[in-house]
A and B are shown apart, each in its own frame.
Chain A
Amino acid sequence: MTTTSLTSSRGAGRTGDKVFSAATLAAGCLILAVLFGVALFLVVQAIPALTASPDKIQGGEGFFAYIWPIVVGTLIAAAIALVIATPVAIGVALFISHFAPRRLASGLGYLIDLLAAIPSVVYGAWGAAFLAKEISPAYNWLAGNMGWLPIFHGPASATGKTILTAGIVLSVMVLPIITSLSREIFLQTPKLHEEAALALGATRWEMNRMAVLPFARPGIVSAVMLGLGRALGETMAVALVLSSGALTASLIQSGNQTIAAEIALNFPEASGLQVSTLIAAGLVLFLITLGVNMIARWIITKHKEFSGAN
């Protein structure tokens, strides 16, 4: 091989490239391996519960009868959390990014981030010891005045330890996630588009609706999905707040249970097939989270053409 001025091999630079690319590849593979390992563990451990005869499963009517009420309970708790947290979080994020004076904005953003630093067991204790008690008069009112709605059917729980209380506690817990992600995305709105809206005679709110919110839409969806992930998987707060029981439509009576809390409460004393049942419940939770994330991806890609990325 002839050596020309172009073939000189500067060894050091190349080595750096190789090390870096190998390291990133290894990190990527590691994630996949861990994910695969967890999935494999869940499936293998869950098989006994899925194949066992129905009368051996807790409740005596098979795995499906056991799992579906707590799946519904999980979804209800997460839905309550998101319904409350999403509008508040987007409002706060917009306020911080586009309306508040700069000094107030940074202080407020810092406070919101602090909410994320509180351990979930503290939220659980607060929900059980304080919020439940304080909120039960409101439940009585709801039962008395809106009891014709199945979700507010009375009599309201005297302790206030209901799925609605759990949902409210969860909403406070997911609020910082959704807020700080949305705020970051709102801040990234190109100045050009904001000015375009203003130059057409838009008010500040119209500018936000015209330029900021559409631009941030995929980001908001991702933020909400991350919040949903936390709400679905949250264990401690729900376990402490909710006085669990059978599935009920009323949100202000005690009852209902979530998968995560069910596993946490029963796992320490479980043995044999019951362990397997709980792990199968964990597998179901895993699948729900996976499904939610895929739906979120789909929503985002559906609007790709108008995302401004092209």
Chain B
Amino acid sequence: MSKRIDVKDLNVYYSKFLAVEDVNINIEAKSVTAFIGPSGCGKSTFLRTLNRMHEVIPGARVEGEVLLDGDNLYGPGVDPVTVRSQIGMVFQRPNPFPTMSIRDNVLAGVKLNNQKISKGEADALVERSLQGANLWNEVKDRLGKPGSGLSGGQQQRLCIARAIAVEPQVILMDEPCSALDPISTLAIEDLINDLKDQYTVVIVTHNMQQAARVSDRTAFFNIAGTGKPGKLIEVGDTHTMFSNPAQKATEDYVSGRFG
């Protein structure tokens, strides 16, 4: 239930502006890959191209290929809706649906496309997903209450539960802890560690310690200056990237000399 992603010669444009240039990267199945780099270097933009969420922004487009176990996400006839149901996403700020209960939030993706699900199955799925997101014990007595009543960290785990309820192949996380306190952050990091047994996880983070703690592989993005496109500088084993990177820029960044 997890697939690998291979990106070939990917350029991302906002209208005429080239935002990310020539990315080639292989993301292994059942592993955690972290994207690090200074602000504005295109990490989040690139992450969004992995499930075609960048298309929400008018004018955004890509050239190149993103292969999910060999199938091109940008091939002719590929529906972005199908892509997103296989490649889930967790956002920077927790965004449970405020008009839905905790239970309905978890089931939101499952009920799409008019899929019918019996109450028993739904109950089991809600429990399994919330267990998977380490949230079950905290919310099992108030599944009917609104999701917006939870704390920020709980809301973010609810969003993860919502994402894994549809059983995606890959989970993308766009700075999932940047709005959270250290304890909630720790809970999410533990969760990411558990998730990689089943899912391919890609995480964008500004926090280098976090990248070092949670990821198996790390990719470093950089930008030459404002108005220049972001580039993938180097990707490798996380341990190597932090101790002995091949590129000077990577070493400067991870050692805190800039960024």
Decide if A210 touches B89 in the complex (CB within 8 Å). no
Contact partner, A193, options B53, B88, B95, B163, Cβ 8 Å: B95
Contacts A201-B82, A201-B109, A310-B148 hold; do A196 and B95 have CB atoms under 8 A apart? yes
Whether the pair A306, B81 counts as a contact (CB closer than 8 A) is no
Distance to closest chain B CB from A191 (angstroms): 8
The residue that A214 contacts in the complex, of B81, B82, B93, B99, with Cβ under 8 A, is B99
> CB distance B91 to A215 under 8 Å?
no
- Mark contacts of A214-251 with chain B using CB atoms, 8 A cut-off: 1 yes-contact digit, 0 otherwise: 11010000000000000000000000000000000000
Contact (A200, B98) CB under 8 Å given A192-B91, A192-B93: no
Q: Is A269 positioned at the interface, with any CB of B under 8 Å from its CB?
A: no
Is B85 among interface residues, defined by CB-CB distance under 8 A?
yes
Q: Does A199 reach chain B (CB closer than 8 Å)?
A: yes
Report B48 CB to chain A, min CB distance, Å: 9
Q: Is B182 an interface residue (CB 8 A)?
A: no
Distance, CA A200 to CA B108, complexed state (A) = 8
CB neighbours of A190 from chain B (8 A): 95
| B51: Cβ under 8 A from any A Cβ | yes
A residues less than 8 Å from B113 (CB atoms): 201, 203, 206
Given A199-B84, A201-B81, A201-B109, A210 and B166 touching (CB < 8 A)? no
What's the Cα separation between A306 and B146 when bound, in Å? 6
* Residue pair B98, A193 in contact (C-beta under 8 Å): yes
A215 / chain B contacts, CB cutoff of 8 Å: 98-99
| C-alpha gap A237/B199 in the complex (Å) | 64
Which residues in window 258-298 of A have CB below 8 A to B?
none
The chain A residue sitting closest to B109, CB to CB, is: A200
Determine if A305 and B81 form an interchain contact, defined as CB atoms under 8 angstroms apart.
Answer: no
Q: Which B residues are in CB contact (< 8 Å) with A192? A: 91, 93, 95
Q: Is the CB of A310 within 8 A of B53?
A: no
Q: A198 contacts which of B56, B159, B163 (Cβ < 8 Å)?
A: B56
Q: When the two chains form the complex, which single residue of B58, B101, B146 contacts A310, counting CB atoms closer than 8 Å?
A: B146
By beta carbon, the residue of chain B nearest A303 is: B99
Cα distance A306–B147 in the bound complex, in angstroms? 9
Asked if B13 CB lies within 8 Å of chain A CBs, one says no
Secondary structure call for the A interface:
helix
Interface residue tally of chain B, by bracket?
20 to 34
Bound complex: CA A214 to CA B101 (Å): 12
CA distance A201 to B168 in the complex (A): 10
| Residue B100 lies at the interface, judged by CB distance under 8 Å to chain A | yes
Q: Which residue of A lies closest to B52 (CB)?
A: A198
Residue of B nearest to A213 (CB): B99
Instruction: Give the complex CA separation of A206 and B79 in angstroms.
Output: 15
CB pair A196–B159 under 8 Å, yes or no, is yes
Instruction: Return the chain A residue nearest B51 by Cβ.
Output: A199
CB distance from B249 to the nearest CB of A (A): 31
- Scan residues 94-118 of chain B and give those whose CB is less than 8 A from a CB of chain A: 95-101, 108-109, 112-113
Chain B residues with Cβ below 8 Å from A310 are 146, 148-149
Are A202 and B51 touching (Cβ within 8 A)? no
Contact B91 A195 (CB under 8 A): yes
Shortest CB distance B172–A (Å): 8
Question: Contact string, B20-57, partner A, CB cutoff 8 A, digits 1/0?
Answer: 00000000000000000000000000000001010010
Answer whether residue B162 sits at the interface, using C-beta atoms and an 8 A cutoff: yes
Cβ of B109: which chain A residues have Cβ within 8 Å of it?
200-202
Which B residues are CB-close (under 8 A) to A195? 53, 56, 89, 91, 95
**Distance A192 CA – B159 CA, assembled complex (angstroms):** 12
Name A309's closest neighbour in chain B (CB-CB): B98
A197 on interface, CB distance cutoff 8 Å:
yes
Please determine whether A198 and B84 come into contact, CB atoms closer than 8 angstroms. yes
The answer to whether A306 touches B162, judged by C-beta atoms less than 8 angstroms apart, is no
Bound-state CA distance A136–B1 (Å) is: 64
Closest Cβ of chain B: how far from A195's Cβ, in Å?
A: 6
A145 touches B (CB below 8 Å) = no
A307 within 8 A of B: yes
In the bound complex, CA of A210 to CA of B108 (Å): 8
Q: Is A13 an interface residue (CB 8 A)?
A: no
Q: Does A211 contact B (CB under 8 A)?
A: yes
Contact A201 B98 (CB under 8 A): no
Question: What residues of chain B lie closer than 8 Å to A11, measured between beta carbons?
Answer: none
Smallest CB-CB A-B distances: 7 pairs: A308-B98, A201-B85, A200-B109, A214-B99, A199-B89, A192-B95, A196-B95
Binding site for A on B (CB under 8 A): 51, 53, 56, 58, 81-82, 84-86, 88-89, 91, 93, 95-101, 108-109, 112-113, 145-146, 148-149, 159, 162-163, 166
**Sample of 21 A–B contacts (CB below 8 Å):** A192-B95, A193-B95, A193-B98, A194-B56, A196-B91, A196-B96, A198-B53, A199-B84, A199-B89, A200-B112, A200-B163, A201-B82, A201-B85, A201-B113, A202-B109, A206-B112, A214-B100, A217-B99, A303-B99, A306-B100, A306-B101
Given A194-B56, A206-B112, 14 extra CB contacts under 8 A: A102-B58, A195-B95, A196-B97, A199-B51, A199-B91, A200-B84, A200-B85, A200-B162, A200-B166, A201-B112, A214-B97, A308-B99, A310-B146, A310-B148
